[in-house]
Copies of this chain bind each other. A is one copy, B any other.
Amino acid sequence: MLHRYLILGLLMDSPMSGYDIRKQVNAALGMVTNASYGTLYPTLHKLLAQGAVGVQEISQIGRPAKKVYQITERGRQEVLDWLKQPADDQLQREFLLKLYLARNLSANDVLALVSARRAKLEFERQALQADKSGAGSPQAGWVADYALAMCDAEVEWLRRVETHITQTSVV
């Protein structure tokens, strides 16, 4: 369902092919969702069948023909309605589940888990910062900024967890 609105939302800006959509998603929303062709194309077909988008085949010289999809009025209405509904998303962090279940591990093992996570986040933070600088639109900037803020908040939280573990466990 998410991909439906993702596609529709991007088509609201300008008509695009499935390939183009994939590129845009990867560039701007890679951290939010990762739409692959296996999802994109079938979803486009469905949207077409439902009249939310139209299509026009464009022949090109020197490269494969492409199908450019435009959003219809119906599709546009659908996105607009969706946009106005509040989003209810959960945290849904696999790591959080791991940490919760890690009570059966030794303090050292838990610490290793947490440290590894922090190292990973601190590494990813660099890429995020680069994304932020290279953001084209304000919206893309916000997304990057959000990711960065979440990353920082998690790192701080991890630090708290780390000190808690070291202080609690026998030295």
Contact = CB atoms under 8 A, between A and B. Distances in A.
* A interface secondary structure, majority: helix
A32 B95 CA distance: 10
A83 interface: yes
Given A34-B90, A92-B89, A113-B83, A100 B143 contact: yes
Interface in A117-171: 117, 120, 137-140, 142-143, 145-147, 149-150, 152-154, 156-157, 160-161, 164, 168
Q: How many copies does the complex hold?
A: 2
Given A86-B116, A87-B95, A100 B29 contact: yes
A154 B145 contact: no
A33 B169 CA distance: 29
Nearest to A105: B83
Nearest to A145: B157
A60 interface: no
Contacts of A143: 96, 99-100
Given A89-B93, A89-B94, A146-B154, 6 more contacts: A5-B97, A9-B104, A28-B100, A79-B104, A86-B120, A99-B143
Contact of A32 (B13, B93, B139): B93
A84 B96 contact: no
A9 B115 CA distance: 21
